[in-house]
Chains A and B, each alone.
Chain A
Amino acid sequence: MKDKLMIGDKELENRLFTGTGKFSCKDIIKETIEASNSQVVTMALRRVDFDNQEENVLNYIPNDCILLPNTSGARTAEEAVRIAKIAKATGCGNWIKIEVISDNKYLMPDNQETIKATEILAKEDFVVLPYVSPDLMVAKRLKEAGAAAVMPLGAPIGSNRGLKTKELIQILIEEIELPIIVDAGIGKPSQAAEAMEMGADAVLVNTAIATAKDPVIMAQAFDKAVQAGREAYLAGAGAVKKYASASSPLTGFLKGE
């Protein structure tokens, strides 16, 4: 049986989501996404230049990818809802990544506003993927609100610091019956593999690929890492033991040794 990820009514084979931000030119975006094998690509709707074919980033996303427009720049639920509606109206589909950030210093998501926006948009038949700080109660509310997945951050956006919130994400993986997609903070393929190994359903990587010296090769590296991590998770890693099995067991006497 093939290992597939279901989000909304879409079946995905590849578990690496990518983005279009921070690249040195638009031409390289296409090449990079193709190299990543990614099937879901996020882009900031505020930067999509619909009037100019050469500048319109949508023209650089491979046709078979699912577009995941994000509401970057939104400071409130209301702004996020407005951006989501523009996205739908301009032909970007009905998937939306909710990003509500009212903190320009650390770029931490506003979980409360994100829940509000999720509630509104899920009712309007959007496939809503909210980006949040990992918090169990928030994730439960997002599920109730109709989210299609939860996207907890591994570390602040663009920080490349890795899975700093690992323990909290682990709880979401165990408790929330929705795909958990680790978004933000993943700086290296090994960190993506780590997220997948612990049971995350997918990861979203943008900065680490876009700002690499060679984004195409880095995209391939992430693809492999995500696959390896997923396979390791499915294979069931052996229990990690702190001490080697003792050669002089302390409870051997129970067995008459």
Chain B
Amino acid sequence: MSFYQEYTRYKEIDFTTFFDQVTENDVQRVLAQDNINKDDFLTLLSPIASNYLEEMAQKAHELTVQHFGRIIFLYAPLYLANYCVNQCAYCGFNVENGFKRDKLTLNQVEEEAKAIVEKGIKELVILTGESRKHSPVSYIKDSVKILKEYFSSLAIEVYPMETEEYKELVGAGVDGLTLYQEAYNKDIYDEVHIKGPKKDYRFRLDAPERGCQAGMRRVNIGPLLGLDNWRKETFFAGLHANYLQNKYLDTEISLSLPRLRPHLGSFQPNSIVDDPALVQIILAYRLFLPRVGISLSTRESEEFRDNLLPLGITKMSAESSTAVGGYAQDKGEKQFDISDDRTVAEVKEFLLTRGYQPIFKDWH
């Protein structure tokens, strides 16, 4: 059994008809319930539910405070390398984009670690492009050995791996896995992943589950919002999180909300995910899955991030660089432009003024 079976079953739903039939009464009924099932979740993603964002927000806020408290976890990303063999229509690191590729030496990894730790960050997500030649598992493992001396928690956001490879990295000190499916819609997935190993939809879809099996403490998933109709993509991502949460009780499952950002190349989103849409997504996730973490990156603007804070967000990145060598050397081509360039100290100060305690350390 894999999530693929569930995807295959639910993709046959006639979403248009379902959404057309949802009434205001249905939304009100769902909002009055304690337990939200899959149908209810889809109801909350309907166009008509957008009339109930305030009611949804009140409930989502209450659930978040109850389960997580008034706290926000802070983390930063570290790009180890940007060599990539894939041709993805939407990505700045696309193999066809002719910019100078870079990869940190182990000495540079240490310099970057020092620069990030100095800001107070203890939780790191390390990233590479998909190139097993330039960034093999052994390179990631060597970097992890250095980084774990500086950080209390390390997650990887790299190409999908086999279970044994994940186990090897868990053994070296990795405790989290982030892997975005990009598009749950298999046809769109095939369309936007033009060339390269990433074309293998199923291998990517099952990777978070392999991570759970390999003993990752935390697994973070999500669609790249904008590639297909966001209501459908959010629905599948929610089902995927629910599937993992029910099957791997000892893994903390979380969801991220990456929205397509401007980058090198000219890909335009297929679905416009405006601010009210992103709000509806967060609220529907929280009501359906009260205990999942919801993570927000610096892709979003300072002002918007601040407003989203009480709606269900549990984790934020701060003072991020999306370039290889972006912390110690401050150079390099960025994967995407960030929109919130406040320092860690500024984000921390802001959180405190809004009544949220920033948490830097959450593991040993």
Known contacts A46-B361, A46-B362, A49-B122: does B249 contact A102 (CB below 8 Å)? yes
CB A215 to nearest CB in B, in angstroms, measures 10
Known contacts A102-B249, A104-B253, A105-B245: does B361 contact A48 (CB below 8 Å)? yes
B66: chain A residues within 8 A (beta carbon): 158-160, 207, 211
Known contacts A103-B250, A104-B250: does B364 contact A23 (CB below 8 Å)? no
CB B324 to nearest CB in A, in angstroms, measures 27
Interface magnitude class on chain B: 20 to 34
The answer to whether B70 touches A24 (Cβ under 8 A) is yes
The answer to whether A75 touches B364 (Cβ under 8 A) is no
B355: chain A residues within 8 A (beta carbon): 24-25
The answer to whether B357 touches A23 (Cβ under 8 A) is yes
B361: chain A residues within 8 A (beta carbon): 46-49, 55
Residues from 236 to 270 in B contacting A, C-beta threshold 8 Å: 245-246, 249-253
The CA of A73 and the CA of B153, in the complex, are separated in Å by 12
Which one, A25, A52, A103, A207, contacts B360 given CB within 8 A? A52
Known contacts A24-B70, A104-B251, A210-B69: does B120 contact A52 (CB below 8 Å)? yes
A88: chain B residues within 8 A (beta carbon): none
The CA of A47 and the CA of B364, in the complex, are separated in Å by 8
Residue of chain B at shortest CB distance from A73: B363
CB B152 to nearest CB in A, in angstroms, measures 8
The CA of A26 and the CA of B359, in the complex, are separated in Å by 10
The CA of A211 and the CA of B122, in the complex, are separated in Å by 25
Residue of chain A at shortest CB distance from B69: A22
The answer to whether A46 touches B363 (Cβ under 8 A) is yes
Known contacts A104-B291, A211-B69: does B246 contact A86 (CB below 8 Å)? no
The CA of A211 and the CA of B62, in the complex, are separated in Å by 10
Residues from 44 to 77 in B contacting A, C-beta threshold 8 Å: 65-71
Known contacts A49-B360, A104-B291: does B69 contact A75 (CB below 8 Å)? no
B120: chain A residues within 8 A (beta carbon): 52, 55
Residue of chain B at shortest CB distance from A48: B361
Residues from 156 to 183 in A contacting B, C-beta threshold 8 Å: 158-160
A48: chain B residues within 8 A (beta carbon): 361
CB B175 to nearest CB in A, in angstroms, measures 10
The CA of A215 and the CA of B1, in the complex, are separated in Å by 47
CB A45 to nearest CB in B, in angstroms, measures 8
CB B251 to nearest CB in A, in angstroms, measures 7
Which one, B67, B71, B245, B252, contacts A158 given CB within 8 A? B67
CB A50 to nearest CB in B, in angstroms, measures 9
* Residue B356 interfacial (CB < 8 Å): yes
The answer to whether B364 touches A55 (Cβ under 8 A) is no
* Residue B352 interfacial (CB < 8 Å): yes
The answer to whether B364 touches A46 (Cβ under 8 A) is yes
The answer to whether A22 touches B249 (Cβ under 8 A) is no
A83: chain B residues within 8 A (beta carbon): 364
Residues from 326 to 346 in B contacting A, C-beta threshold 8 Å: none
B362: chain A residues within 8 A (beta carbon): 46-47, 73
Interface membership of chain A positions 199-227, coded 1 if the CB is closer than 8 angstroms to chain B and 0 otherwise: 00000000100110000000000000000
Known contacts A103-B249, A104-B250, A105-B291: does B65 contact A211 (CB below 8 Å)? yes
Interface membership of chain A positions 13-48, coded 1 if the CB is closer than 8 angstroms to chain B and 0 otherwise: 000000001111110000000000000000001111
A160: chain B residues within 8 A (beta carbon): 66
Interface membership of chain B positions 140-182, coded 1 if the CB is closer than 8 angstroms to chain A and 0 otherwise: 0000000000000000000000000000000000000000000
The answer to whether B249 touches A105 (Cβ under 8 A) is yes
Residues from 201 to 250 in B contacting A, C-beta threshold 8 Å: 217, 245-246, 249-250
Q: Beyond A46-B364, A75-B250, list 4 extra A-B contacts (CB 8 Å).
A: A47-B361, A55-B361, A73-B217, A103-B249
Interface residues in chain B, defined as those with a beta carbon under 8 Å from any beta carbon in chain A: 65-71, 120, 122, 217, 245-246, 249-253, 291, 352, 355-357, 359-364
Q: 17 A-B Cβ contacts within 8 A?
A: A21-B69, A21-B71, A22-B68, A23-B70, A24-B356, A24-B357, A25-B352, A25-B355, A26-B357, A47-B361, A49-B122, A55-B120, A55-B361, A102-B250, A104-B253, A207-B66, A211-B65
